[in-house]
Amino acid sequence: MRKSWIILRQSFIDSTAYGSVTLVWILVAMLEILVPLVIWLSATPVGGSFGGFTKSQLLAYYALMTLVGNFTFWWLNFKIEEDIRSGDLSNILLKPISYFRYRLLNQLADKAFSFLARIPIFVVVFIFFGEVIFTNFTLLSLILSIIATLLGSLIYMLISAMFGLFSFWITSTRGFISIYFFSVYLLSGELAPLAFYPTWFRDLTSLLPYRYVLSFPIELILGKLSPTAIVTGFIVEASWLLGLAFLVNLLWRRGLRLYQAYGK
């Protein structure tokens, strides 16, 4: 526990040292949310709704996206790829702590700093959209949304790690990662609420992991899902989590057998 705390504290200090870079990324993320928000608000009739969302609900949806995304998005792929390519993986493997635990603590420190930097945004969200967010709010919906967010965070973390581990076999995974990021943007509900898509497309996204890293927790807290849809969603989410955990463990064990440090 003491080792974890030391790594977490040092990583947080490193994050603050490069705080300006993190703030730029936060600004970029906010712009990616604001642009589609403006587009969909313009397409929604005054006093009407679009895809089952009123203008107020759309505002609440995109506002909640900034909160949920802060907890569910991980960037392990870049760190893992860099460690393997540079040879730094050898040094970390010699540390008295597991590799993934070490990297996860690094990322948690980044998330903590990012969360602190976004606090003013969250305050504005709850001041202006609190009434809409809490319209269908219940203690159960909050608990379910928190659980879904945690599971979605683990899913994104495992997918991110999976792409990073591909570096055991190929020199650069950036092309694959770019495709994945685009898939997340389109299929997770980041571009637009999934209710805006055709029925067949929504059915497809409900079977894929992308929905569960963003849209599913938000739909829960906004009261957009039936009891049957909630149960089905958690079953699919848990299935992806178990499957990805098995796959990442398999890639890690087989990759280490092939690994030869080079670079530094």
Residue 144 CA to residue 221 CA, distance in Å, equals 8
Instruction: List, for residues 195-218, the tens digit of each pLDDT value.
Output: 888 889 989 999 999 999 999 999
Residue 263 lies in a domain: no
Residue 83 CA to residue 202 CA, distance in Å, equals 38
User: Against a cut of 0.75, is the pTM above it?
Assistant: yes
Q: Which two tokens stand for residue 71?
A: 């907890």
Residue 162 lies in a domain: yes
Bridge partners of residue 53, in order along the sequence? 50
Contact by Cβ (8 Å): 110, 23: no
Report the 10 Å Cβ neighbour count for 174: 12
Q: Which two tokens stand for residue 254?
A: 């087989």
Total residue length of the chain: 264
DSSP state of 213: G
What type of residue sits at position 20?
S
Question: If phi over 0 gives left and psi between -120 and 50 gives alpha, with beta otherwise, what is residue 189?
Answer: left
Q: Percentages helix, strand, coil for the chain, rounded to the nearest 5?
A: 80, 0, 20
The range of the structural domain enclosing residue 57 comes to 2-258
Bridge partners of residue 54, in order along the sequence? 49
Residue 264 lies in a domain: no
Q: What is the SS3 assignment for 50?
A: strand
Minimal CA–CA distance to 159: which of 187, 135, 137? 187
Residue 138 lies in a domain: yes
Residue 197 lies in a domain: yes
Residue 245 lies in a domain: yes
Residue 157 lies in a domain: yes
Tally of domains in the chain:
1
Residue 248 lies in a domain: yes
Note down pLDDT in tens along the chain; length 264 residues: 666 666 656 655 565 655 566 666 666 666 666 667 666 667 666 666 766 777 777 878 887 888 888 888 888 888 888 888 888 888 888 877 888 888 888 877 777 777 776 777 777 767 776 777 677 778 888 899 999 999 999 999 999 999 989 988 887 777 788 888 888 888 998 888 898 888 899 899 999 999 999 999 999 988 888 999 999 999 999 999 999 999 999 999 988 888 765 544
Instruction: List, for residues 139-157, the tens digit of each pLDDT value.
Output: 888 899 999 999 999 999 9
Question: What's the confidence (pLDDT) of residue 146?
Answer: 92
Contact by Cβ (8 Å): 217, 148: yes
Contact by Cβ (8 Å): 89, 95: no
